[in-house]
Amino acid sequence: MLRRSALALLSAAVVSTALAPLPAAATADSTIDVGLEGFRDIVVAQSHDRVFISQGTDEVVVTDLAGTRTDVLQGLTGAWGMTLAEDEGTLFVAMHGGEAIGVVDTETLAVGTIGTGAGTCPMHLATTAQMVWFAESCDTGPVREGTIGALDPVEGTVHPDLAEVYATAIAASPARPGELFVGTRTSLLSLTALGGESPSLTQRLEHSTQVGAWDAAVTPDGSRVVTNGGSGRALALTTGDFTPAASYAFTGGASPVSLAIRGDGMLAIGTYDDEVHVVPPGGEEPLRSYDFSRGYSHSVAFGETSMYVVAGRDPELHVITPRRASKLTVKRTQRKVDHGAEATVRVRLDGGETSREVQVYAQPAGEPAVLVATGEVPVDGWFVARHRITRTTTFLATYAGDDSYDTATGKTHPVGARADLRTKMLRPSGMAGRQHLYRVNKRAVLRATLLPRGLDRCIVLRLQYYFRGRWGHEAKTDCLPVDRRSRVKGFVAGDRQLVGIPMRLRAEFRGDQRNARTKTAWSYAKFTR
């Protein structure tokens, strides 16, 4: 019976390498603590590089367009709603606790006040027909009554009690001169507003809402007004007759609490469920949704390009450049390649108008990511990158975004790099075809070398004999640690019973985090007398 010979083995030590992160993609969102004690309203004076935030206190915080706090306005008792003159030269502030309207020069920040009369508590402001219209109420009961009055900012005259209505919001637009939109707890109203020495308000239209019209915003062309459309949606009505013109649905089911429309028609909808949904001009589906999980989004406002959101129970200012979501698809073309061979990666970009440049990084197992390619992704096509790898590698791609589209990242599944495993039969006495010949009193020695090097790696050696017409009678070692030269040796001791019996040996690597499994071709040997 054929006796199996043992394989002698060498030992090895262990090393490891820490994983380094891929460089992070840039973000357009800034969150800034500007020292708010509360929140009531936010107004952007783009032409003066200023953002005004009222808190319900006696102070209005002033920041620049980047959100950096620059000033604070004092003496505006119970500062509530605000509105700008059409030329942005004057800011009007409803002083809910001061029976007055504050008048602020947006250039010098000089503050004045005009009284609105005893027993008035101004809350919301809007400008149209050369007047500043103010909705006021001191009523805190369950019914809540209120009125709307007017201030002539040139003459400084006040005309209270022009309409008896508790307003949850008022809005106006230069594109609809002489019209005031008023939200109530049950409906949205359109009022004809006449200015002059004897101002007046006359109801023109009414649209019932499922819940209160907590805010309203008019499109830049004046054709539509947007308000609360019920749970999980906002509604656009034509300003001419309040015919429903568009519905903006979003996930979560929360009602809109704040609305803003940018000069190009982009719509922002803040809801009670901590989110702001941004709808592109002319669209109805949100292009982006922003989650402010630390508290509901109290209000939104637009500058020329940026969106300003005040959110949180401890209110913070968020400055955002709304952009469409982009997507990177990154695919490997091979699951495994040989050690030192090229791996091919394809990158597809959904999005990008003014820039379609992407960066491709290779991150070998246990090593930091390195930039290996930069290029433009063709429209409706793929950017192809190739990189030689010596160990299992994950490829990552980043897109920096452009004026219209946000940043994006993507990555492949790991591409396995087979280890470079080589064997050599040492010191044979001769060759007979492919067979290495050894004297019966010698050892048939197989040396295996594994690259890349690593003392934490091991190799299995396998032996088979050709007996009775087939290869079999197999023997194998345990997984043997490599030495400092990344080698192991094994031998078959010569024996008279083995003379003339063909043998074959090979090395096998079972794979690890760095390299895919592989095995060598068979090496053939025979003992002779």
The torsion defined by the Cα of 429, 430, 432 and 433, in degrees rounded to 10, comes to 130
Question: Of 417, 436, 457, which closes a domain?
Answer: 417
- Domain match, 413 and 431 both: no
Phi, psi of 137 (to 5 degrees): -165, 130
End-to-end CA distance of the chain: 20
Task: Look up residue 89 and give its two tokens.
Answer: 């030269």
- Domain match, 111 and 44 both: yes
The residue among 251, 286, 242, 295 whose CA lies nearest residue 267 is 286
- CA separation for the pair 56, 462 (Å, rounded): 81
Structural domain boundaries, residue 410: 327-417
Residue 285 domain flag: no
CATH code of the domain covering residue 381: 2.60.40.730
Asked if residue 182 lies in contact with residue 189, where contact means CB atoms within 8 angstroms, the answer is yes
- Domain match, 93 and 232 both: yes
Phi, psi of 497 (to 5 degrees): -65, -20
Residue 11 domain flag: no
Residue 175 domain flag: yes
CATH code of the domain covering residue 180: 2.130.10.10
- CA separation for the pair 324, 79 (Å, rounded): 35
Residue 308 domain flag: no
- Domain match, 152 and 234 both: yes
- CA separation for the pair 446, 488 (Å, rounded): 8
pLDDT, position 287: 83
- Domain match, 75 and 52 both: yes
Residue 340 domain flag: yes
Residue type (1 letter), 254: A
180-231 tens-digit pLDDT: 999 999 999 999 999 999 999 999 999 998 788 999 999 999 999 999 988 7
Q: Where are the beta strands (DSSP E) in 222-315?
A: 224-228, 233-238, 244-249, 256-261, 267-271, 275-279, 288-291, 297-302, 307-311
The CA angle 184-313-139, to the nearest 5 degrees, is 35
- Domain match, 442 and 401 both: no
User: How many folded domains does the chain comprise?
Assistant: 3
- CA separation for the pair 225, 205 (Å, rounded): 12
- Domain match, 405 and 429 both: no
DSSP codes of every residue in 470-495: EEEEEEE---EEP-TTSEEEEEEE--
Alpha carbons within 13 A on the beta-carbon side of 480: 25
- Domain match, 344 and 384 both: yes
In sequence order, the 6+-apart residues with CB closer than 8 A to the CB of 468 are none
- Domain match, 481 and 367 both: no
pTM exceeds 0.85 for this model: no
Question: Of 417, 448, 477, which closes a domain?
Answer: 417
Question: Of 253, 272, 289, which closes a domain?
Answer: 253
- Domain match, 453 and 361 both: no
User: 3-state class of 297 per DSSP?
Assistant: strand
- Report residues of the chain scoring pLDDT below 70: 1-29, 294-297
Residue 150 domain flag: yes
CATH code of the domain covering residue 498: 2.60.40.1930
pLDDT, position 29: 65
- Domain match, 402 and 521 both: no
DSSP codes of every residue in 431-464: EETTEEEEETTSEEEEEEEEES--TT-EEEEEEE
- CA separation for the pair 375, 284 (Å, rounded): 34
- CA separation for the pair 438, 199 (Å, rounded): 116
Residue 292 domain flag: no
- Domain match, 437 and 355 both: no
Asked if residue 433 lies in contact with residue 443, where contact means CB atoms within 8 angstroms, the answer is no
Residue 46 domain flag: yes
User: 3-state class of 503 per DSSP?
Assistant: strand
